[in-house]
């Protein structure tokens, strides 16, 4: 399996894939990272300095022997055989999986960048893309322009960073960025607790960068159509739940009834975005390619929801894909959320942040969900259905009959794993762990 990290920067993705693929191949997991055929990871970036940091990070982790390749150059060169040769790549090279996170929106023509990546993606391959979200950056451009009127942000990045920090700390609540910052804070008490304010590089990236474009739901689909030339379609949002308006208003029957007839479509996703306010600061999604197709603009493949079938399928996918990562997950991180061991308060939320990506080939789950969801995932054993496990968690934690919130949270995880599976990123073991899966469907979640 060949992985491309386009605009890999200082190496978050390559460290991640190299670490996880090395472990999965070493442990003989046949469904991950190409299994016995092995894997290769290519990291392309314009910046020599970033590449040297990425190399150093691999060294620190003892991964310098992993099959990784660093290429300094522009991803735009991938679009033609001669450009690939310029990058010292075979002119006909193709990749099974491409990750491009936070990169295409910095190009003067993002669709041109997407088209270049599409040209080296295999048919049936997948591409993970993250671009900035317009709604969640409300006010960012006001501040960008304010700073630009005072200093040359490109020639003098340090002054830009200093001025931005001062502006933010003195910002009146009437500024459009103030509400955005409140939503980024997500319960954090102080603005300094928000990740982006810890690192100058983050501040630079958000407020001082010479060029960026932000997208809304509709323009994401226009971008996919334009850059993908009809050969790319969205397989799934990384997290479907934040593109569902009932996530934000679903506590009321009025809204549940209002939203119920909406199909998974651009209209529904756009409504969720508009109804959520300044939540969507990034759009992360998975594309799939079929060069024999001409996907209409707005195509969302998604997947049909069929509890009678999916439930068994999910336990198979999840128990095989998550077994490594869940074992490694730092349980100590959850201590304050749990009363004793796993028992927790019904309202406790856990930051759900571990690597489904690792299990397959490239996805992170980072969500804040009810802690019981973690427990459900951790108990999946390829022997019981999801419903059986949910029922066990309900019993163990003495939860009442109303546990819809656990089911909904679980769906987030579940949707992503299925998307991975559907795109060939995880191939479940037959019967999972060699066990025959009983078709003992225990009712809807």
Smallest gap, in angstroms, from Cβ of residue 20 to ligand SAM?
16
Mind giving me the DSSP string for 82-149?
A: HHHHHTTS-TT--EEEEEEES-GGGSSSHHHHHHHHHTTEEEEEEEEEEEEBSGGGTTHHHHHHHHHT
User: Quick one: 223 exposed, middle or buried, by C-beta within 10 A (0-12, 13-18, 19+)?
Assistant: buried
Q: Which is nearer to ligand SAM, 46 or 171 (CB)?
A: 46
Positions in the binding site for ligand SAM (CB under 6 A): 7-9, 12, 44-47, 50, 74-76, 101-103, 106-107, 205
Q: Which is nearer to ligand SAM, 72 or 378 (CB)?
A: 72
Nearer to ligand SAM, 8 or 432 (CB): 8
Going by their DSSP bridges, the two strands 365-370 and 349-354 should be labelled as antiparallel
390: tokens are: 């949910």
Q: How far is the CB of 75 from ligand SAM (least distance, A)?
A: 4
Residue of minimal CB distance from ligand SAM?
9
User: What is the β-pairing status of strands 40-45 and 282-289?
Assistant: unpaired
CB of 214 to ligand SAM, least distance (A): 14
Minimal distance, residue 421 CB to ligand SAM, in Å: 24
Q: How far is the CB of 16 from ligand SAM (least distance, A)?
A: 10
Which residue, 213 or 303, has its beta carbon nearer to ligand SAM?
213
Pick between residue 117 and residue 376 the one whose CB is nearest to ligand SAM.
117
Question: CB of 313: closest distance to ligand SAM in angstroms?
Answer: 31
Burial tier of 191 (Cβ tally within 10 Å: 0-12, 13-18, 19+): middle
Measured CA angle at 95 (ends 117, 10), to 5 deg: 70
Closest approach of ligand SAM to the CB of residue 68, in Å: 15
CB-nearer residue toward ligand SAM: 103 or 234:
103
Shortest CB 93 distance to ligand SAM, Å: 16
DSSP states of 402-436:
--HHHHHHHHHHHHHHHHHHHTTS--PPTTTTTPP
Closest CA to 245 of 232, 235, 258, 233: 258
Choose between 210 and 252: whose C-beta lies nearer to ligand SAM.
Answer: 210
- Beta strands (DSSP E) in 295-377 are 338-340, 343-344, 349-354, 365-370
- C-alpha to C-alpha distance for 323 and 320, rounded to whole angstroms: 6
Task: Name the residue nearer to ligand SAM (CB basis): 123 or 199.
Answer: 199
Q: Looking at beta carbons only, is 74 or 288 nearer to ligand SAM?
A: 74
Find the shortest distance in angstroms from Cβ 85 to ligand SAM: 16
Distance set, CA 73 to CA 42, 43, 47, 111, 263 (Å):
12, 10, 8, 18, 42
State the maximum Cα–Cα separation within the chain, in Å, rounded to a whole number.
67
């Amino acid at each position: 399996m060949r992985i491309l990290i386009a605009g890999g920067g200082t190496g978050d993705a390559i460290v991640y894939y190299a670490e996880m693929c090395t472990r999965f191949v070493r442990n003989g997991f046949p469904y991950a990272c190409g299994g016995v055929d092995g894997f290769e990871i290519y990291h392309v970036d314009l910046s020599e300095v970033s590449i040297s940091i990425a190399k150093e990070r691999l060294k620190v982790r003892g991964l310098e022997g992993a099959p990784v390749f660093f290429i300094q150059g522009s991803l735009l060169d991938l679009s033609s055989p001669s450009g690939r040769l310029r990058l010292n790549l075979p002119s006909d090279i193709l990749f099974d999986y491409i990750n491009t996170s936070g990169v295409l929106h910095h190009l003067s023509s993002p669709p041109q960048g997407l088209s270049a990546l599409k040209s080296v993606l295999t048919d049936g391959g997948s591409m993970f893309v993250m671009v900035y979200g317009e709604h969640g950056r409300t006010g960012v451009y006001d501040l960008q322009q304010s700073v630009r009127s005072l200093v040359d942000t490109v020639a003098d990045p340090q002054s830009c960073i200093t001025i931005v920090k001062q502006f933010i700390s003195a910002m009146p609540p009437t500024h459009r960025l103030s509400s955005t910052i409140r939503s980024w804070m997500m319960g954090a008490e102080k603005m300094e607790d928000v990740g982006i304010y810890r690192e100058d590089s983050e501040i630079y990236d958000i407020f001082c960068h010479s060029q960026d474009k932000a997208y809304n739901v509709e323009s994401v689909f226009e971008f996919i159509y334009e850059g993908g030339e009809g050969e790319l379609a969205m397989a799934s949002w990384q997290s479907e739940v934040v593109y569902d308006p009932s996530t934000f208003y679903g506590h009321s029957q009025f809204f549940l009834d209002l939203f119920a007839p909406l199909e998974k479509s651009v209209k529904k996703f756009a409504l969720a975005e508009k109804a959520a306010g300044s939540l969507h600061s990034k759009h992360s999604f998975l594309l799939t390619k079929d060069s024999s197709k001409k996907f209409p603009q707005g195509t969302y493949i998604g997947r049909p929801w069929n509890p009678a079938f999916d439930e068994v399928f999910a336990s198979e996918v999840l128990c095989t894909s998550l077994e490594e990562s869940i074992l490694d997950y730092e349980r100590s991180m959850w201590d304050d959320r749990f009363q004793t061991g796993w028992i927790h308060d019904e309202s406790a939320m856990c930051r759900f942040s571990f690597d489904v990506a690792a299990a397959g080939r490239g996805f992170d789950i980072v969500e804040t969900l009810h802690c019981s969801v973690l427990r459900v995932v951790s108990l999946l054993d390829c022997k019981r259905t999801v419903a059986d496990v949910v029922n066990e968690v309900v019993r163990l934690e003495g939860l009442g009959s109303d546990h819809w919130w656990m089911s909904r949270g679980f769906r987030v995880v579940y949707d992503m794993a299925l998307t991975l599976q559907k795109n060939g990123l995880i191939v479940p073991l037959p019967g999972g762990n060699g066990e025959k899966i009983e078709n003992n469907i225990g009712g809807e979640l």
